[in-house]
Amino acid sequence: MEAIAIVTILALLQFVWISVQVGGMRGKLKIAAPAISGHPEFERMFRVQQNTMEQLVVFIPALWMFGYFVKPLWGAGLGVVFIIGRFIYRAEYLKDPGSRSPGFMITFLPTAVMLIWVLVALVWMQF
């Protein structure tokens, strides 16, 4: 499970990096806490962070269950695709929220594949 752990840490560090950028924009654009709106650039960065958190809540359990019940190295590979998808999502969303779908799908598909795969494998094992 070492490969699963390394990919988990990289995905969490990516989220920390995005969160730091949200904080940085508060300073740059003078958006004092607790406000979460007031400038389109801040709102985009904030939504990138929030959406990344929503994805992580599903991705991390999916990744560990896949690593445990199916195959750790394949899980690590799918996890790398997740991280690459997030970089694309972030870059595209900041340029134009309307173009966020491809990066979103590249992030989301690895998680969906792992969830369904583990579910099918576990149900299969009962028979």
Instruction: Answer yes or no whether residue 91 interacts with a second copy by CB under 8 A.
Output: no
- Angle between the N-to-C axes of helices 72-95 and 2-28, in degrees from 0 to 180, rounded to the nearest 10: 10
* Among 5-13, 72-80, 81-89, the segment contacting a second copy (CB under 8 A): 5-13
Task: Give the residue, chosen from 76, 78, 106, 118, that forms a contact with a second copy under the rule CB under 8 A.
Answer: 118
Task: Give the residue, chosen from 21, 47, 80, 83, that forms a contact with a second copy under the rule CB under 8 A.
Answer: 47
Instruction: Answer yes or no whether residue 61 interacts with a second copy by CB under 8 A.
Output: yes
User: What gap in Å lies between CA 6 and CA 32, rounded to an integer?
Assistant: 35
Instruction: Answer yes or no whether residue 57 interacts with a second copy by CB under 8 A.
Output: yes
User: What gap in Å lies between CA 29 and CA 37, rounded to an integer?
Assistant: 11
Instruction: Answer yes or no whether residue 125 interacts with a second copy by CB under 8 A.
Output: yes
Sequence-separated (6 or more) residues with CB below 8 Å from residue 16: none
Instruction: Answer yes or no whether residue 33 interacts with a second copy by CB under 8 A.
Output: yes
The token duo for 82 is 């997740």
Q: How many CB atoms lie under 10 A from the CB of residue 13?
A: 11
Contact 82/11 with Cβ under 8 angstroms? Answer: yes
Residue closer to a second copy, measured from CB, 73 or 122: 122
**Tokens 């583990």 appear where?**
118
Site for a second copy, rule CB under 8 A: 2, 5-6, 8-10, 12-13, 15-16, 19, 32-36, 40, 43-44, 46-47, 49, 53-54, 56-58, 60-62, 65, 69, 93, 97-98, 100, 112, 115, 118-119, 122-123, 125-126
